[in-house]
Chains A and B, each alone.
Chain A
Amino acid sequence: MKARLQVTSVFVDDQAKALAFYTEKLGFIKKTDVPAGEYRWLTVVGADDPNGVELLLEPDEHPAAKAFTRALVEDGIPMTSFRVDDVNAAYRELEAEGVVFTQPPMPMGPMIGAVLDDTCGNLIMIVSPAPEPD
């Protein structure tokens, strides 16, 4: 058996708000949006990779999910990370649009990472490779 990634997920406190943030601020595009009980099966994909791994914007309705995301946010820990071309450029662009960062770009091993508030209950890290030293 060889499992592969089709979908990964973040817990969000409001799916509509999350769809707006993840598409308008982070540049994902909507992939699947179907009713599922009182919620929706709602996924987004990277704009340059519409057939790639989907990100499920999953309701944090379970009390444990809320406790989990709150505890991570309290300590500044990102729920997950997304690759961007240039973290420094993304940081400038998003901050100008009013996105709140808990951590400006800083080297983290071979990558540079910055941490932002997705407004839906999570901190998200955006990363790009650190420039090669001269």
Chain B
Amino acid sequence: MEECTARQRLRIYFTGVGGQGTLTATTLLAGAAMIAGLDVVAGEVHGMAQRGGVVESVVLLGGWRSPRVDFGEADVLLGFEPLETLRGLPYLRLGGAVFSSSDPLPPVGVSLGQAQYPELAVIEEKIRQIAGLCKFLPCRELGLAAGSAQSGNTALLGAACAAGALPFGTDVLERAVKNVLSPGIQEVNLKALALGAAA
């Protein structure tokens, strides 16, 4: 378990599908790091985000200057969709930690029967070959239990935090929810955070 305990200097890679709220989760985590008094830099690639493409972003803590994570550099990979978690796996360093949603969003090629979605067991096996810690979470279910499917992302952050993969506690994430998110969705996200941390 030594591999998954948080270092102060940490590179986190987020991946998901356009419209899932990947960038909001990124801002939330970066905001939490600010509250914790950590040096933080984050990076996003916009542009095609809302058209069903892959959305990637990064948060680097503890004094990194570059808002970018390359292959083999990420200490933590947060995947909001299992296929994208697998696609993002080369970014993880050997022994890094993976937290991923277990709810597939099939790409169009799969929906139309032109491509095959990999089995979850296969995805998990490939991740375990690289990662020191791998946790799948039913984010959609947890999100819905909290009050909205979207808040499943926050549940995933809660799980990563509770597993000790982030250099601050869930209390800091709670404060970030109150600081960063609009008042109307704070309650739901606080609930999702707790559900994720307990999962």
B is a partner of A: no
Q: Residues on A close to B: CB < 8 A? A: none
Q: Residues on B close to A: CB < 8 A? A: none
